Amino acid sequence: MKRLHRDLLACSTLLLVLLGLAGVLLRQGPDRLQALPALLIGLALLLQSAWSWRRRRRAILLALREPGGRGAASECSDEP
């Protein structure tokens, strides 16, 4: 359920950006301003997602490099 929710959110973010781009390209004059909120919100959601993904990956890498038993390498030792 959580995975489905995340996937729907990712798809809706991309669709929001595409809708905003289409609105900016197809409208003329001052009507273009009406499409900017959708475009800006979609871009902000994409940037936030990329930032949190990068932060999560960095935390995993630091946990793997950490000596002292908390990393995955120390849990999988071949010692009897």
Dump pLDDT digits (tens) for 7-49. 887 888 889 999 999 999 999 998 899 999 999 999 998 899 8
Angle between helices 2-26 and 36-65 (to 10 degrees): 140
CB atoms within 10 A of CB 10: 13
Number of residues assigned to the chain: 80
Is it the case that residue 59 has pLDDT exceeding 60? yes
Enter the pTM of the model: 0.66
pLDDT-derived band at 74 (thresholds 50, 70, 90) equals very low
d(CA 63, CA 56): 11
Q: What are phi and psi of 68, to 5 degrees?
A: 115, 15
Is it the case that residue 72 has pLDDT exceeding 70? no
pLDDT-derived band at 73 (thresholds 50, 70, 90) equals very low
